[in-house]
A and B are shown apart, each in its own frame.
Chain A
Amino acid sequence: MTIAADAGGRDVVEPWIQAASPSHLTLLDPELAVASLYNVRNVPSAFWIDESRRIVRANDPIYVLRRDRATGETSRNETYLNAVRDWVANGSSSKFVADEAALEKRMPPASFSDMEAMASFELGVYLIRRGAPTSAERHFDRARQLAPDNWTFRRQAWSLSGATQETIIRAIRDPAAPAFYPELDLGD
């Protein structure tokens, strides 16, 4: 199942879904509410959920296609895909099933300031839709101060406010900025 955590909603995500024409469920999350529920701090981010609805891997930063910086060639991320195949075949005895400490780290309980960040972000999105982008910026700023590692909020805000590529790259490369993606730790 895929979830489009995108405030652009149907208009923006439909062409992508049509182009991929997937056989799995593709759901929309225009308020980023499901993403917040799962503590998603950037996209793409993947979870494994087992038959009894328990999370066995959380918030893995995965691109199925990887681009080699040197050659510019794209290839499938076989390392991750093999881990998925292993879990499908072996279930809870797969070595790729995360332990509790790893899960806790990837999906810590929400704090009140996380929730305040979400409220500020949502208010910003509402104000953009209402035609008050200057006011929206105040709340996007507050969301960033409260949850500096939440790149989902920051990237969505950049998209809505039409931030330049230069602004975005500078923010991402800022040495003081929190990591853009966590490590994909497959334990091997």
Chain B
Amino acid sequence: MAGPATDSPVTVIFDGKAATTSRAQVRGDDVWLMLDELPSATAWELKPEGVCRGETCVPLSPSQKAAVLGDEKTPNWFNVSEFARLIEEPVAIDQQERVWYFGPPGWEWKSRSAGNAAPDFTAPDLAGEQHSLRELRGKKMLLLFWASW
């Protein structure tokens, strides 16, 4: 794993955003990215306190560190798939197309049906203007999901 990868490009999708890189390594079903590409591809970055995204930091135990960062032979690599397992993200993989899709971390999807509070969301109208459920507090609402098909 030393040195830049020569494999064909890999696409990783985090938060619905796809990033394609030719500097990735595939080992079995796991995808490794270089540390310098981690923030742009996943919005996560390695800091002294752990793996962080905005205000959220996931500290790594020594054994987790060994699994996510590999050993001294792989100083600049990060096992994105191992990290996803650690934070309970659902994953879907297409080896043929070389695409890795990562869903939300466990603490996000586990809180979705907590109590009967309506989960907040933000979505655009036809004009592209964003609206969130939060704005409509204080009114009764009938929320209807539909589709054209």
Residues on A facing B (Cβ under 8 Å): 1-6, 8, 10, 12-14, 16-17, 25-29, 31, 33-35, 37-40, 43-56, 62, 84, 87-88, 91, 100, 103, 107-110, 112, 115-116, 118-120, 122-123, 126-127, 130, 132, 135, 138-139, 142, 152, 155-156, 158-159
Contacts and interface: CB of A to CB of B under 8 A. Distances in A.
B113 A139 contact: no
15 contacts: A1-B141, A3-B144, A6-B148, A27-B123, A37-B119, A38-B119, A43-B146, A44-B146, A47-B143, A51-B140, A55-B116, A110-B110, A115-B90, A116-B90, A116-B91
A50 B140 contact: yes
A5 to B, nearest CB: 5
Nearest to A11: B148
Contact of B142 (A1, A39, A40): A1
Nearest to B132: A27
Question: What is the size category of the interface that chain B forms with chain A?
Answer: 35 or more
A91 to B, nearest CB: 8
Interface in B101-121: 101-104, 109-110, 112-114, 116-119, 121
B99 interface: yes
A5 B134 CA distance: 20
Contacts of A16: 148
Nearest to B133: A53
A122 B141 CA distance: 28
Contact of A34 (B102, B104, B123, B139): B123
B99 A123 contact: yes
Given A3-B123, A5-B146, A43-B146, A107 B113 contact: yes
A132 B126 CA distance: 28
Contacts, number: 179
B92 A122 contact: yes
B48 interface: no
Contacts of A118: 90, 103
B7 to A, nearest CB: 18
Q: Which one of B94, B104, B119, B147 has the highest number of Cβ atoms from chain A below 10 Å of its Cβ?
A: B147
A16 to B, nearest CB: 6
Interface string B23-57: 00000000000000000000000000000000000
Contacts of A17: 126
A48 B103 contact: no
A139 B92 contact: yes
Which 8 A-B pairs have CB atoms at the shortest separation, nearest pair first?
A159-B149, A115-B90, A123-B92, A119-B92, A123-B101, A109-B113, A27-B123, A119-B90
Given A16-B148, A84-B142, 6 more contacts: A4-B146, A8-B148, A27-B125, A28-B123, A115-B103, A119-B90
Contacts of A88: 140
A28 B122 CA distance: 10
